């Protein structure tokens, strides 16, 4: 009898707790945060994890979403590309998240893509990338090549940019640099640049011995033609790269470097006094003055409890993606992926530089482009910007097999990589 009473009490307790847990789950909307918090990419990605947490904290203070609290489920794929896919599956299958904000490198995004497509998940990818991709399960809030790489080269070719004639395409050895440089090489040749005036070099993630490579760059730039380095070097390899530039006296007025993966966060770990004048191309700089940016910087430094912490472009892309997702959820009245996807098209969010970002049916944004010059304080001074936003190209017109492709996910048209729209 005693055993039965104890067993009965246990069953009663379990029976009473389970509805409470179910009710708690119903009152919560989970989102996933899929960024490396350790390994070579932690230098860049940890900040984006904190940005999502800040946005979650902010929306919860305002009453949540659809009357529910938003909960961030944070995982660490540890700069391990196959682990990204494993963690993505965990977020979608086990945690049942409504959307995921994450990835930095293209190889990590490529790793998770089959998982999101198989499970019909929704990924917001906040970093500049090589294009040449269009998935109905990914929204790309970073720059495509025509919103960063091409404008940067155009600037350097111009009189204001020094009328560069010789080009070093230096990158980390993975998808983004190789594809971006394939596009840039074709673009440069279309502008009359000779093959012998293009030098291409790749190094592994975390590369630290730059003496020989920088010496080769210096030699390549001594041929009597204005030379520039277009850098797609990613992660913590940038620290020794820039240090070696300074060691060998490669200055911006001789061989300027324009970087696509170095922003304020990366410069925070570098002595910038020898880097003054080198460049970066982004869609946002912390130094751009606008009421929205002033408020964002204040919010960030307050949340992180550090008045010296900087902001950067992928943070703005994360901010825009999160805001667009919440607006789409509110418009759809649900977190259902298919409904939210349709509601995302045409969503507008004030960007942090004074304009408006728009989500297009190719799952990419229209964004402005800025070229910034590194200052001694680790910030960028804008030296050039587009007059208006530029709509991203998912497929590059400078790669023949891509030029004929269409990206338009408008219902009932479903066309990510085809020459003719297909009915769903």
Give the gyration radius of the chain's Cα atoms.
23
Spatial CB neighbours of 86, under 8 Å, sequence gap ≥ 6: 77
CB 421 within 8 Å of CB 415: yes
Per residue in 34-67, pLDDT (tens digit) is 999 999 899 889 999 999 999 999 999 999 999 9
Name 59's Cβ contacts closer than 8 Å, sequence gap at least 6: 65, 70, 326
Residue 301 has pLDDT above 90, yes or no: yes
Q: Map tokens 């008045």 to a residue.
A: 307
More confident position, 150 or 405: 150
* Helix H or strand E segment including 75: strand 69-75
| Burial grade of 61 (CB within 10 A; 0-12, 13-18, 19 or more) | exposed
| Contact of 102 with 133, CB cutoff 8 Å | no
Q: 223 or 422: whose pLDDT is higher?
A: 223
**What percent of the chain is predicted at pLDDT more than 90?**
81
Mean pLDDT of 343-356: 96
Phi, psi for residue 187 in degrees, rounded to 5: -65, -45
Spatial separation of the C-alpha atoms in residues 342 and 121, rounded to whole Å: 14
pLDDT of residue 24: 47
> How high does pLDDT run on average in the chain?
91
Mean pLDDT of 75-97: 98
Q: Comparing C-alpha atoms, which of 397, 419, 421, 392 is closest to residue 409? A: 421
Span 411-418, mean pLDDT?
67
CB contact set of 213 (below 8 Å; sequence gap of 6+):
170, 201, 203, 244
| pLDDT at residue 7 is higher than 50 | no
**Residue-level pLDDT at 265:** 85
The pLDDT assigned to 419 comes to 61
Looking at residue 315, what is its pLDDT? 98
- How far out from the chain centre does Cα 372 lie? 18
Ordered by where they begin, the domains of the chain are 12-143+290-369 (3.40.50.2300), 147-285+374-385 (3.40.50.2300)
Query: pLDDT value at position 20?
Result: 45
Nearest in space to 39 (alpha carbons), one of 82, 88, 93, 9 = 82
Quick one: which of 335, 367, 292 has its CA closest to 30?
Answer: 335
User: In this predicted structure, what is the pLDDT of residue 1?
Assistant: 45
Kindly state the average pLDDT of the residues 303-328: 97
Range name among 188-197, 228-237, 324-333 with the lowest pLDDT average: 228-237
The closest alpha carbon to 133, from 179, 170, 166, belongs to 179
HSE (CB half, 13 Å, CA atoms) of 66? 19
Tell me the percentage of the chain whose pLDDT exceeds 70: 91
Give the pLDDT score at 274: 76
Residue-level pLDDT at 271: 79
Residue 12: predicted pLDDT: 44
Give the model confidence (pLDDT) of 118-170 as tens digits: 999 999 999 999 999 999 999 999 999 999 999 999 999 999 999 999 999 99
- Say whether pLDDT at 350 is over 60: yes
Model confidence at 423: pLDDT above 80: no
β strands within 196-240, DSSP E: 198-203, 227-232
Query: What's the confidence (pLDDT) of residue 270?
Result: 75
Return the minimum-mean-pLDDT range out of 56-70, 142-156, 263-277, 406-420.
Answer: 406-420
Does the pLDDT value for residue 233 go beyond 90? yes
Residue 8 pLDDT: 46
Cβ–Cβ < 8 Å for 175, 106: yes
Regarding predicted confidence, which is higher, 206 or 6?
Answer: 206
pLDDT at 25 (0 to 100): 53
- Give yes or no for residue 10 having a pLDDT over 70: no
Residue with structure tokens 């098209």? Answer: 345
CA atoms of 355 and 162, how far apart (whole Å): 28
Least-confidence region, from 32-36, 260-264, 296-300:
260-264
DSSP code for 238: H
According to the model, what pLDDT value does residue 195 have?
A: 97
Length of the chain: 424
Task: Tell me how far apart the alpha carbons of residues 235 and 214 are, in angstroms, rounded to a whole number.
Answer: 18
Contacts of 83 (CB under 8 A, 6+ apart): 77
Closest by Cα among 97, 123, 127 to 112: 123
172 pLDDT tier (thresholds 50, 70, 90): very high
pLDDT of residue 239: 84
Q: Whole-model pTM?
A: 0.87
At residue 4, the pLDDT reads 44
Q: How confident is the model at residue 18 (pLDDT cuts 50, 70, 90)?
A: very low
DSSP 92: I
Helix residue ranges per DSSP H, 36-139: 42-61, 81-89, 106-119
């Amino acid at each position: 009898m005693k055993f039965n009473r104890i067993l009965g009490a246990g069953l009663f307790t379990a029976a009473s707790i389970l509805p409470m847990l179910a009710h708690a789950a119903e009152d919560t909307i989970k989102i996933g945060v899929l960024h490396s918090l350790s390994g070579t990419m932690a230098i860049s990605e940890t900040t984006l994890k904190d940005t999502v947490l800040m946005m979650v904290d902010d929306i919860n203070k305002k009453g949540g979403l659809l009357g529910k609290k938003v909960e961030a489920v944070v995982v660490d794929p540890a700069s391990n590309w196959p682990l990204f896919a494993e963690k993505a599956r965990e977020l979608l299958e086990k945690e049942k998240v409504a959307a995921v904000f994450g990835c930095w490198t293209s190889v990590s995004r490529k790793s998770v893509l089959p998982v999101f497509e198989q499970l019909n998940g929704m990924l917001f990818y906040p970093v500049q990338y090589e294009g040449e991709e269009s998935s109905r399960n990914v929204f790309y809030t970073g720059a495509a090549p025509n919103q960063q790489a091409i404008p940067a080269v155009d600037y350097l070719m111009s009189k204001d940019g020094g009328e560069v004639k010789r080009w070093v395409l230096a990158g980390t050895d993975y998808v983004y640099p190789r594809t971006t440089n394939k596009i840039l090489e074709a673009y440069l040749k279309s502008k009359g640049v000779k093959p012998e005036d293009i030098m291409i070099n790749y190094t592994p993630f975390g590369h630290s011995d730059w003496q020989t490579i920088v010496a080769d760059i210096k030699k390549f730039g001594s041929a009597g033609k204005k030379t520039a380095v277009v850098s797609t070097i990613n992660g913590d390899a940038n620290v020794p790269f820039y240090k070696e530039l300074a060691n060998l006296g490669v200055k911006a007025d001789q061989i300027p470097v324009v970087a696509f993966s170095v922003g304020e966060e990366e410069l925070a770990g570098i002595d910038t006094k020898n880097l003054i004048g080198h460049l970066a191309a982004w869609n946002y700089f912390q130094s751009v003055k606008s009421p929205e940016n002033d408020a964002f910087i204040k919010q960030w430094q307050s949340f992180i409890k550090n008045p010296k912490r900087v902001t950067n472009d992928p943070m703005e892309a994360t901010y825009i993606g999160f805001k667009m997702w919440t607006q789409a959820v509110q418009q759809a009245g649900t977190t259902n992926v298919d409904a939210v996807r349709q509601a995302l098209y045409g969503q507008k969010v004030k960007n942090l530089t004074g304009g408006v970002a728009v989500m297009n049916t190719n799952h990419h944004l229209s964004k402005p482009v800025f070229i910034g010059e590194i200052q001694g304080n680790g910030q960028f001074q804008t030296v050039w910007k587009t007059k208006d936003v530029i709509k991203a190209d998912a497929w590059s017109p400078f790669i023949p097999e891509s030029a004929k492709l269409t990206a338009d996910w408008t219902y009932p048209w479903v066309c990510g990589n085809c020459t003719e729209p297909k009915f769903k």
